[in-house]
Amino acid sequence: MAPAERVAVPRRSWHTGLVPLTLTHPGWDPVAVRLGPLQIHWYALMYLLGFVIAYVLLRRRLHHPPFDRISKPRPWVGDDVENLLIASIVGVMVGGRLGYCLFYQPGHYLTYPLEMFFLWEGGMSFHGGAIGVTLALLMFALRAKRPFLEVTDLLVPAVPLGLAAGRIGNFINGELWGRPTAVPWGMIFPMADSTPRHPSQLYQFALEGLLLFVLLWAYARRERALGEVSAFFLVGYGLFRFIAEFFREPDDFLGLLSFNLSMGQWLSIPMVMAGLLLWAVSRRRGVHAPSGVSDRAIEEQDADGDAPEAGGEPEVENDSATSEESNGGVDGELVAEPTPTEEAASGSKEAESDMEERSGG
């Protein structure tokens, strides 16, 4: 009798007890719209969606404190949001592209510098974009004569949803995949190999995008010290990006660097440190509104300053009243005191009068 054949049973995941799923990236076409020679990529549409979301959120921010009470140099209006968004777009595009070329492939792009302008070939760096936006916002603040941190506090709560849209674009393109994994939701990316990998784009979408937005938006709804909201963003993004990089495949032309950290992690460390320093400085200054909000407070402080302090010098009017009372003033009239000459003449007259009365007696 022939022995029974062994039936292969799928191995179960050791930490879930579930049969691992074999997920494969759909392999979507990165081009969303074709109009003759014109091609519009999904990634570009995600960038556009991110800027539209940021515009809507910034307009809404203007109706919440402290920005609804700013009066100097003038109140925030919709045109300011549009100009701010244009400056941010220029900063993101220029800084993001230069950051990718110089941080990740400096040798290649220094050899072929014209390829820096080949934006359609892809290659953007968030950290480079952050530097570009910082410079653009600094120029905006100088031209608008507004505090730089007031501008950044207005902008940063809208940034995470833009980042979330960008990560969806990465996922549609099937790029920036994760490290090999055995988790049930591991996904095969055809552009990489046949190994299941972490869908790290979705991790970053959830952490740097949705979760950071919820936390930052809730944090910014209360009155905060100038720069405190910006500091929260720096720390929050740096931490979430540092965590997500453990699941993301390092760039093949860089690999892991010192201490087995990726370039993204090394660039996130100074962000966290700068955010903590800014947060400490802002908290030390105390909770106060940005420029132009404190006009009423200044007037009240000036009014309080006119009142005498307890135990201080009495007012001049009180001194005058006291002097009048001591000089025998009646009904507010001042009575002059006699001079020494008048007192002597009066004394001699009284003496003569006494002598006449005695002689007559």
pLDDT at 17 over 80: no
How far is 146 from 138, CA to CA, in rounded Å? 10
- In order, the DSSP letters of 338-361 are PPHHHHHHHHHHHHHHHHHHHHH-
pLDDT band with cut points at 50, 70 and 90 for residue 39: confident
* Residue of higher predicted confidence among 341 and 42: 42
* Strand-pair partners of 34: 39
Is 197 a known ligand-binding residue? no
How far is 98 from 128, CA to CA, in rounded Å? 7
pTM > 0.75: no
How far is 249 from 243, CA to CA, in rounded Å? 13
User: Locate tokens 């660039």: which residue?
Assistant: 267
Per cent of the chain over pLDDT 70 is 72
Nearest to 88 by CA among 141, 42, 165: 141
How far is 236 from 96, CA to CA, in rounded Å? 20
Nearest to 83 by CA among 154, 163, 166, 161: 154
**Residue 68: DSSP 8-state:** G
Give the model confidence (pLDDT) of 206-236 as tens digits. Answer: 999 999 999 999 999 888 999 999 999 999 9
How far is 44 from 333, CA to CA, in rounded Å? 88
How far is 276 from 284, CA to CA, in rounded Å? 12
Q: Which of 38-52, 248-262, 337-351 has the lowest mean pLDDT?
A: 337-351
- In order, the DSSP letters of 87-118 are HHHHHHHHHHHHHHHHHT-HHHHHHSGGGGG-
253-270: average pLDDT: 91
72-88: average pLDDT: 88
E strand or H helix that includes residue 32: strand 31-35
Residues in CB range of 267: below 8 A, 6 or more apart? 103, 127
User: Locate tokens 């997920």: which residue?
Assistant: 23
- The answer to whether the peptide bond before residue 20 is cis (omega within 30 degrees of 0) is no
pLDDT band with cut points at 50, 70 and 90 for residue 266: very high
Which pairing describes strands 187-188 and 23-24: parallel, antiparallel, or unpaired?
parallel
User: What residue type is assigned to position 187 of the chain?
Assistant: M
pLDDT band with cut points at 50, 70 and 90 for residue 321: very low
Which pairing describes strands 31-35 and 38-41: parallel, antiparallel, or unpaired?
antiparallel
Q: What share of the chain is helix, strand, coil (3-state, %, to 5)?
A: 60, 5, 35
State the pLDDT at residue 253.
Answer: 74
**Residue 206: DSSP 8-state:** I
Give the model confidence (pLDDT) of 152-182 as tens digits. Answer: 999 999 999 999 999 999 999 999 999 999 9
State the pLDDT at residue 290.
Answer: 54
**Residue 145: DSSP 8-state:** T
pLDDT at 9 over 60: no
How far is 97 from 124, CA to CA, in rounded Å? 5
State the pLDDT at residue 311.
Answer: 44
pLDDT at 138 over 70: yes
- The answer to whether the peptide bond before residue 106 is cis (omega within 30 degrees of 0) is no
CB 47 within 8 A of CB 211: no
Residue 209: other Cβ atoms inside 10 A: 23
Q: Give me the residue spans of the domains in the chain.
A: 23-290
55-82: average pLDDT: 86
